Every structure is written in structure tokens, then in C-alpha cells.
Amino acid sequence: MLALHPEVTVLNHAFVRIFADGSLDFTLDPTQDKLDAFVRTAEAMALTGERGAVGGHILHSHAFGDGVLRDTYLDHYGWAAKPGAQCLVWKDATRVTNHLIRHKIALDDLARRLPSLRFVMMVRNPVDITISSIRKGYAAALVGEDRKDSFADVFAHMIRLFGWFAPAAQANPAQFQFLYQDELVDPATLGALCAFLDLADVKVWREDIARLIRLRESYPIDAAQKTRLRAEVARIIPDPFVARRVAEQIV
């Protein structure tokens, strides 16, 4: 969605490359100089690369395998850098989140020391995320090799991540925001996202999103399973508002 915005450069994946250079890890040493160096390197990587963990240009991402989406991007921007780009989005959620948690990095402190940072937690249907992660082989990165096939373990892990992010979003909404799947088709969501990221609210971008966004059908589960899983969400996430909104994505 953000990749189509004229002011946004997206680095797809590339965690294993960019943080292999410790001098670019602004999360462990949150200084403006280190963040600036990271951004320069990330912007260069975002013009090349390949599919998978190596990452790079957003056109190498799985989502842009869709012909219409890919053609729309190429018609607007080609493969070159966007001349009006002023915002870098790093799309490597699992690896970055694992890194933050493994190194016990305090989100509030990181945000305080680097006020230009913004954090967006996308909340899709957690049932879909769980099943997709297991089927596509991503679950091992979430819960480990020994539990990668356990729906209960992967689901609970995803819900705990939303709970981990919730205190920061509540305390500092200027730098931390949830983005819920059921809001993506609401035009007000796009305006709020632009305001959060300090982007222009561009008419052509809105029109592209309205034309291209397609929410995938959820994996079917019965009413009893939905009730049980929504209760599990409420048990794991202390924040009642976030728990309710996450549970509402289970459809």
C-alpha cells in the first residue's frame, strides 16, 4: 500500500544484509548519525536486490508478483528512485521484531532517542497469519523449529506480539500506531496514515489503493473456534481496546 505513494521508498526485507554491518544498527546504538547512515544504505539497497531474505527493491516482493499491482508501480516510477521520496519504510517485520525482542530493546527509549522514527504494527486476521506462516514455512522464525507446526503456539505468539506493541502505542501515539485490516478500505485510514508519516495525501495514490486493494478471504473456521480464539486474544492482551480490535479481525 505505502509502496505506491510517491514520497515513500520501501526496503523489502534485507535485514540479514543491512544489519550484518553493526555500524548501521541504530536499534542497539540509537544515534542520529547511525540512523542517517542506515537510511542512506537502505535507500541504495532499495534500488536493487532479489526476492527472499536478500531483499531490496519492493518489486522483488511477493506482493508485487501480482501483474496489475506491478504494472501500476512501474507505470508511475519504473525501477529508479522516486524523485519526491522523503520517507523510508522498512518491510521486514518478523526479523526486525525478533531483533528488538532478542536484544531487549525498550521501544519507548528507542523512540525517545530517535524522534523521527515511526512504528506501524499491521494487524491482519491472526488466524490467517498463523495458518499462512505454518504453510509457507515462516513459523520457525517465530516460535522455533520444534513448535513451527503448532497452530496454538504460533497463534499465541502472534497475539503476544500485538500485546508487546500495545503499551508503546498507548503511551506514544505520535510514533506508534496499529493499522487494522478491517480499516484498510476506509478512506479515513489513508488520511490518518499520511498524517502519521508526514506524507502528502495524494489523490492518485488514493485512487490506486481504492482500485487495487483486495482483502483476501480468510481461512474458514467455525463459530465455536472463533469464539475460543477471541477469548484467547482477550486472555493474552491486557489492553482491552487492542484486545477487542485484534479479536474483531477474526472473521
Model pLDDT for residues 106-123, shown as the tens digit of each residue: 999 999 999 999 999 999
Residue 5 banded pLDDT, cuts 50, 70, 90: very high
Predicted confidence at residue 63, as pLDDT, reads 86
**Residue 246's Cα: distance from chain center in Å?**
15
The amino acid present at 114, given as its one-letter code, is L
Q: How confident is the model over 159-164, as a mean pLDDT?
A: 97
Over 80: is that where the pLDDT of 47 sits?
A: yes
The amino acid present at 76, given as its one-letter code, is H
Q: How confident is the model over 88-101, as a mean pLDDT?
A: 96
Predicted confidence at residue 215, as pLDDT, reads 64
Q: How confident is the model over 211-239, as a mean pLDDT?
A: 90
| Residue 180, beta-bridge partner list | 123
Predicted confidence at residue 212, as pLDDT, reads 87
Predicted confidence at residue 62, as pLDDT, reads 87
Q: How confident is the model over 67-87, as a mean pLDDT?
A: 95
Predicted confidence at residue 218, as pLDDT, reads 78
Residue 204 banded pLDDT, cuts 50, 70, 90: very high
What nine digits make up the cell of 169? 502505542
Over 90: is that where the pLDDT of 129 sits?
A: yes
Predicted confidence at residue 146, as pLDDT, reads 95
Q: How many C-beta atoms lie closer than 10 Å to residue 227's C-beta? A: 12
| Rounded to 5°, angle at Cα 186 from 243 and 107 | 45
Over 80: is that where the pLDDT of 217 sits?
A: no
The structure's pTM equals: 0.93
Predicted confidence at residue 187, as pLDDT, reads 85
